Structure 1
């Protein structure tokens, strides 16, 4: 149903909804970015904290919602697949398009490369360990490499995110910033909340229309989930990062990418578990996907470290990397490759 059944369920309507939702997400991401900048200036937050926490958490609400909804529906693997697909899109497509959108190189710094990128790789490893513990200590009878993630296991990545926030808090304490007090800080918080609400509602409609069109035209669920749906839920991140890059805030642009992915892996997935109590996870599907995500992150880490900037050529290398990812997903769907044993 489109808009609760108000509009007819036809491909043309779904296409119009996608166009309209994209416009509203652009509007909401603009409010999110503007309010985040005002709040960061008011509280004296470093640019990397603004991008990796304030903006990143806000623009990650669609991914958080998708995990919660799939967990409640009993298809948690689909939610994990969408999260990982979104993460691959974030680390390859968003920096690439942000780098192409500006006339000069997209500057990075050692804090982005050595703190944000490496902590994100630690987040991926922690999630693999959590899934492994589920298979070892809570196996599902009669299944191979399928375990159940319980609330105590879900606490492991959440604790690591607590460490991440502690590190960011220490950076804020050590940061010597020029504080620009807002006369009406409540309005900035209100605009932030309004931006989040617009993004959340419109992404839900966008994802629903994309799923409906995929079903209409026979696009396999797995292919749509880790590519189209993942890209749709990452649209706020894309718009925020491109806006920040064009405004000359390259640290915020890149910090948003890595901070969003860290939040998705360490918070969004565990929250789904905490809500429903426990969820099954297919190790043979989840871990190869996380392995591909690790390779994508290593590629981003490498191009950012060379000269501590992202050149136009390196942006196109990231685009090519995402093209290879999509080609692999298509090959898995067509049965040409069999890396995902449980799919």
Structure 2
């Protein structure tokens, strides 16, 4: 199993590096071609940071490991809120200013509830996957509309500051192509290593997807969010998490339904999905801050992180 562990670590490192270069190339290319800053920040970067989850889930589904795909989608969402956002808030309290983001959190919860209704029969079939993909397209259209009508939103200024402005079109396309190629190879290596490790340890592919793979594919969001908050770009830090979670639920979770329809592990509905919804509702309460200030404080970040590690403990116990 040593070869698989080395492959998993190498795949994780390559995945993080390639996702960063892919986003760099995509955002720089879009900027040079005249795409608006908000569209780049909300849509291009959002899809780019979710590319690891999409590729890993697609490859796993094509190989018949639908449990790994579903686990990756749900586990990434739980990781994004509990671990990524928690650690980011521990680095610096997050002050949420963007009106766009305030509208995204209720939408995320509604999408989660809709996804639960699709899965409650214990199956993720072609119809379910198609419905999720339609929802994915509608969310993209909505985000394009938000970007067009949110010029004065604080999020636009933060994205403008964060964009790379020194790349030529040739260099941007180079990083875009290289990032995608390495992303594809590293995702394939990760799926191979994760499946073999799951079989060697005697645990389900779902659990591996919820833990090792989910953490690995969420590392680009962690890097982006921590870097953003260190530059005082708080809305970008939260936006990375919200955008990624929406794309995971609609785009990533649709893939096993469309590519490899089948049964869903009962633990998804009894354990993982309720925890994901619970963390999202907690994020809603914290971000809207009915206590008076729209800040995610350090102690709240610590609480999110503690809840995430408690969830990992639950997985170890139940596995």
TM range (shorter): 0.7 to 0.9
- Structure 1's 189 and 120: CA in aligned 2 closer, same or farther, altered over 3 A? farther
Aligned counterparts, 1:212-227, within 5 A: 212-213=196-197, 215-216=199-200, 221-227=205-211
Residue 97 of structure 1, CA deviation: 2.1
Q: Which residue of 2 aligns with 1:311?
A: 297
Q: Distance in 1 between matches of 2:180 and 2:225?
A: 16
Residue 295 of structure 1, CA deviation: 0.5
Deviates more, 1:221-230 or 1:84-93: 221-230
Q: Which residue of 1 aligns with 2:246?
A: 262
- Structure 1's 98 and 330: CA in aligned 2 closer, same or farther, altered over 3 A? same
Helix, strand or coil at the partner of 1:196:
helix
Q: Which residue of 1 aligns with 2:109?
A: 121
Say yes or no: does 1:43 pair with 2:35: yes
Residue 231 of structure 1, CA deviation: 1.0
TM-score (norm 1): 0.76
Q: Which residue of 2 aligns with 1:149?
A: 125
For structure 2, the 5+ residue unaligned runs are none
Kept after mapping to 2: 8 A contact 1:52/1:260: no
Say yes or no: does 1:106 pair with 2:94: yes
Helix, strand or coil at the partner of 2:232:
coil
Helix, strand or coil at the partner of 1:175:
coil
Helix, strand or coil at the partner of 2:207:
helix
- Structure 1's 128 and 29: CA in aligned 2 closer, same or farther, altered over 3 A? same
Q: Which residue of 1 aligns with 2:20?
A: 30
Kept after mapping to 2: 8 A contact 1:52/1:258: no
Q: How many residues align?
A: 304
Kept after mapping to 2: 8 A contact 1:51/1:254: no
Q: Deviations over 1:110-163 (max 9, x none)?
A: 43542221111121112122224xx3xxxxxxxxxx446124x33222222222
Residue 199 of structure 1, CA deviation: 2.9
Q: Distance in 2 between matches of 1:322 and 1:183?
A: 38
Q: Distance in 1 between matches of 2:30 and 2:295?
A: 24
Among 173, 176, 179, the residue aligned to 2:148 = 173
Q: Which residue of 1 aligns with 2:54?
A: 64
- Structure 1's 86 and 254: CA in aligned 2 closer, same or farther, altered over 3 A? same
- Structure 1's 113 and 171: CA in aligned 2 closer, same or farther, altered over 3 A? closer
Q: Alpha carbon RMSD of aligned pairs, Å?
A: 3.1
Helix, strand or coil at the partner of 1:24:
helix
Among 283, 286, 299, the residue aligned to 2:268 = 286
Kept after mapping to 2: 8 A contact 1:237/1:256: yes
Among 239, 246, 255, the residue aligned to 2:223 = 239
Q: Distance in 2 between matches of 1:264 and 1:114?
A: 19
Residue 215 of structure 1, CA deviation: 4.7
Helix, strand or coil at the partner of 1:293:
helix
Kept after mapping to 1: 8 A contact 2:95/2:234: yes
- Structure 1's 274 and 210: CA in aligned 2 closer, same or farther, altered over 3 A? closer
Q: Which residue of 2 aligns with 1:321?
A: 307
Q: Considering only CA atoms, is the larger Rg found in Structure 1 or Structure 2?
A: 1
Helix, strand or coil at the partner of 2:214:
helix
Kept after mapping to 2: 8 A contact 1:107/1:309: yes
Q: Distance in 2 between matches of 1:17 and 1:183?
A: 32
Residue 89 of structure 1, CA deviation: 0.5
- Structure 1's 209 and 75: CA in aligned 2 closer, same or farther, altered over 3 A? closer
Kept after mapping to 2: 8 A contact 1:52/1:252: no
Kept after mapping to 1: 8 A contact 2:60/2:69: yes
TM-score (norm 2): 0.81
Residue 197 of structure 1, CA deviation: 2.8
Kept after mapping to 2: 8 A contact 1:57/1:260: yes
